[in-house]
């Protein structure tokens, strides 16, 4: 009986996801240390970006951060990056990946979600985990401008879930490859997970950022149907989604939002080569419900490591020279599907 169960487990394991080659630094195996060290202890990265404001069809706007603004006849690959919840071009993981893409000789552009570039957006609603309108519009603009380019795209955390939804809902997109990193592919279980144990500290940090953004829009009359006192009663991400995210975006409840926006149920519809990276010890995610619940097509690679934390993945033998594995693994995967041409 034990042998049968073991064989069955490994057969299912092999079909649904594969073992990542990532090995954490011997001095950084704890999930929280991986998560926090990547953010707070990395040396300051130098990165100069060019900002472009993209006006949207509904009257709102998003800001783009380019590593360089390519000419119309550019033939080098362009990689689009989607950040996580309340992130920006200055987020440690985004800055690191922008630099990594630039070092490959490619062009990178980070799409700020609405209200995440340092100024509030013009509408009451901003962005959420299943909102693919802006990445859809940006993609159309890019292929119109740069008709000789190969495009790839990647998303971190919430941005990874948005990307999963986009790739599944728009299968005839121009991207040759994609990467989804530490994404909350089952939103309901992830909102519960971040409200447990030490993870509540992450929740408190993110929740305060969400509240601050909402307060700014209330003060400037962009949001009229929510009072500041209502925010005082919100203590969890679930509460925020129930009282703010869901009603502002046309959902009846947080659960309705989670059901409609989660990436896991639709990932098998993705048609292009896509790498999913997930750590079993991610303190933001429910491991068992974030991994695939169904057999995936061969062009989808879902890698699971036992360690890595949330967008951490630090390895190397020297504590004074940590190495950031994502910035090697992700470009390597993208490189298998996009051609490198050094001409502009």
User: One of 92, 186, 282, 305 is an active-site residue; which one?
Assistant: 282
- In angstroms, rounded to a whole number, what is the distance separating the alpha carbons of residues 294 and 169? 18
Residue 257: C-alpha distances to residues 188, 241, 279, 336 (Å): 9, 8, 25, 35
Instruction: Sort residue 46 into left (φ over 0), alpha (ψ -120 to 50) or beta.
Output: beta
Q: 91, 157, 177, 189: which is the annotated catalytic residue? A: 157
Query: Is there a catalytic annotation at residue 305?
Result: no
Contact by Cβ (8 Å): 34, 88: no
Q: Which of 83, 307, 310, 315 is catalytic?
A: 310
Q: What is the C-alpha to C-alpha distance for residues 32 and 282, in angstroms, rounded to an integer?
A: 8
Q: Identify whether the C-beta of residue 304 lies closer than 8 Å to the C-beta of residue 20.
A: yes
Residue 186, token pair as written in the block: 């089952």
Q: Is 136 a catalytic residue?
A: no
Alpha-carbon Rg for the chain in angstroms:
20
C-alpha 267/C-alpha 292 separation (Å) is 8
Q: Across the strands, what pairs with 314?
A: 324
Token pair in block for residue 23: 């090995």
Exposed, middle or buried, 28 (CB in 10 Å: 0-12/13-18/19+)? buried
**C-alpha span between 24 and 31 (Å, rounded):** 10
Cα(152)–Cα(179) distance, integer angstroms: 9
φ/ψ (deg, to 5) at 289 = -95, -10
Judge whether 157 counts as a catalytic residue. yes
| Token code pair at residue 284 | 């933001």
Q: Residue 89 forms beta bridges with which residues?
A: none
Residues serving a catalytic function are: 157, 282, 310
């Amino acid at each position: 009986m034990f042998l049968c169960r073991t064989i069955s487990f490994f057969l299912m394991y092999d079909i649904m996801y594969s073992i990542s080659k990532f090995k954490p630094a011997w001095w950084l195996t704890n999930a929280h240390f991986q998560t926090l060290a990547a953010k707070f202890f990395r040396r300051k990265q130098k990165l100069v970006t060019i900002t472009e404001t993209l006006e949207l069809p509904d009257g709102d706007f998003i800001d783009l951060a380019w590593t360089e603004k390519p000419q119309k006849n550019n033939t080098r690959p362009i990689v689009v990056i989607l950040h996580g919840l309340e992130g920006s071009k200055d987020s440690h993981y985004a800055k690191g990946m922008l630099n990594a893409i630039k070092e490959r000789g490619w062009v990178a552009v980070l799409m700020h979600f609405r209200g995440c570039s340092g100024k509030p957006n013009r509408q009451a609603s901003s962005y959420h985990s299943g909102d693919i309108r802006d990445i859809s519009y940006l993609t159309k603009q890019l292929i119109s401008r740069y008709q000789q380019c190969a495009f790839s795209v990647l998303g971190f955390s919430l941005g990874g879930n948005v990307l999963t939804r986009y790739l599944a809902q728009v299968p005839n997109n121009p991207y040759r490859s994609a990467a989804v990193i530490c994404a909350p592919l089952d939103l309901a279980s992830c909102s519960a997970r971040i409200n447990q144990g030490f993870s509540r500290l992450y929740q408190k940090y993110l929740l305060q950022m969400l509240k601050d953004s909402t307060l700014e829009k209330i003060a400037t009359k962009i949001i009229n149907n929510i009072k500041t006192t209502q925010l005082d009663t919100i203590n969890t991400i679930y509460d925020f989604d129930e009282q703010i995210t869901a009603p502002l975006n046309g959902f009846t409840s947080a659960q309705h939002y989670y059901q409609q926006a989660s990436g896991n149920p639709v990932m098998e519809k993705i048609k292009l080569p896509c790498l999913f990276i997930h750590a079993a010890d991610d303190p933001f995610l429910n491991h068992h419900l974030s991994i695939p619940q169904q057999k995936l097509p061969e062009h989808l690679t879902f890698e699971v490591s036992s360690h890595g934390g949330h967008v951490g993945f630090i390895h190397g033998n020297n504590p004074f020279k940590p190495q950031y594995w994502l910035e090697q693994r992700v470009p390597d995967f993208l490189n298998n599907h996009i051609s490198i041409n050094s001409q502009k």
